[in-house]
Amino acid sequence: MMGRRPDISICIPVYNGARYIAATVESVLSQDFSNFNLIILDNASVDQTRAIITSYNDDRITLLSRESTSPPWINWSSVVSAATAPWTKLLCADDVLLPGALSHTFELMKFYPNSGAIAGSRNIIGPDGRTVMRSRPAVKKVVELDYKDFVQLIIKNGTNPIGESCCISWRTELTPVVGNFSNYWKYFIDLDYWIRLSALTTIVVSPIEIASFRVSPESWTSNIGISSAREAKLFFATHEAFKCSRKYIIVVTSLKALFRSIARQTFLSYLFVRSRN
Residue 180's SS3 state is coil
Nearest to 235 by CA among 152, 138, 158: 158
Chain centroid to CA 207:
15
- How do the domains of the chain map onto residue ranges? 8-276
Predicted confidence (pLDDT) per residue in 176-229, tens digit:
999 999 999 988 899 999 999 999 999 999 999 999 999 876 554 544 455 666
Predicted confidence (pLDDT) per residue in 68-127, tens digit:
999 999 999 999 999 999 999 999 999 999 999 999 999 999 999 999 999 999 999 988
Say what the pTM is: 0.87
For residue 155, the model assigns a pLDDT of: 84
Q: Does domain 8-276 have CATH number 3.90.550.10?
A: yes
Query: Is residue 2 over pLDDT 70?
Result: no
